[in-house]
Amino acid sequence: MPTRVVCCGLATLDLTYVVGAPPRPDEKVVARELRIDVGGPALNAARTVVALGGAATLVTALGIGELADLVRARLAGITVIDVAEADHVVPVSTVMADDAGRRSVVSTNAAALGPTIAPPLPVDAAALLLDGHLMRAGATLAVAARERSLPVVLDGGSWKAGTAELLPHVTVAALSADFHLPDGADPLTGVIALGAPAAVRTHGSGPVEVLRGGNRREVPVPEAPVVDTLGAGDVFHGALVFALASGADLHDAVAGAAVIAAESVRHAGALGWAASSG
């Protein structure tokens, strides 16, 4: 049976415009291309797990309606558990990707969603990834996963309400370069002081920092020509949690995830690399 990873968090509908450069204030630009896809940290992590040969369960908020149907139609191969109320509207992100592979994003998220109740953790779950957007459900799942000694990875894109309470139930806090603690402390040592046994921090194409057991080291990221950085961090987190679920050591899991994330920026879209590889 494939190794199953549970991913809990945000699902979005993404509208990506390919432009030479983002417009300046009061300027209009004509996009060369429009791509419609789905996104969100947890959703892209789940798609990455499936692309790598694993099984994924996505706990997210979709609700009903045309936008929710568009998202569901692109989640083939993923078991979806919808914790949204019926009137929930799927968040929409508008993305502008320029010729340098950089992206500008305007989006909504799940902030307007009421408290979510977590489903039972699947009996065959081998690891859990949380992106912090469904904090109440995620925290409940994290407690259940730790009781079963499963790896729990936090995709720390930014500090959110409830992060401090969640960290003691996390085994690896995987932080972005944009993650900062409210008190301005060093992110890696700060999240470990709050209860996470290990911490990882990405820096785009720069080396990935890893801190565990008081030892800090750097893992290099392979050089790659950049076509599109959209979702590269999500791909990294999906590959990381899948490697940990499969029994890899943290250092090896980070190194492997860095290779896959570097490959992802060579292709358009978060999962373009997976389509290219067959």
DSSP β-bridge partners for residue 38: 13
CATH, range 4-11+40-88+112-276: 3.40.1190.20
From residue 8, give the alpha-carbon distance in Å to each of 31, 104, 128, 261, 272.
33, 24, 8, 20, 22
Give the pLDDT mean for 17-38. 90
How would you label 168-192 residue by residue, b for 16+ Cβ within 10 Å and e otherwise? ebbbbbbbbeebbbeeeeebbebbb
What average pLDDT does the structure give for the chain?
Answer: 92
Structure confidence by residue, pLDDT tens digits, 168-223 = 999 999 999 999 999 999 999 999 999 999 999 999 999 999 999 999 999 999 99
Q: What is the pLDDT of residues 247-269, one digit of tens each?
A: 999 999 999 999 999 999 998 87
Exposed, middle or buried: residue 131 (CB in 10 Å: 0-12, 13-18, 19+)? buried
Q: In what order do the strands lie in the sheet with 172-175?
A: 78-82, 55-60, 4-8, 125-130, 152-156, 172-175, 198-203, 206-212, 215-219
* CA separation, residue 33 to residues 124, 151, 267 (Å): 41, 40, 15
Q: What is the pLDDT of residue 3?
A: 98
DSSP helix, strand, coil percent of the chain (3-state; round to 5) = 30, 25, 45
Tell me how far apart the alpha carbons of residues 231 and 234 are, in angstroms, rounded to a whole number: 5
Q: Are strands 198-203 and 4-8 parallel, antiparallel or unpaired?
A: unpaired
Q: In whole angstroms, what separates CA 237 from the centre of its chain?
A: 6
pLDDT of 278 higher than 60 = no
Exposed / middle / buried, residue 9 (Cβ in 10 Å: 0-12, 13-18, 19+)? buried
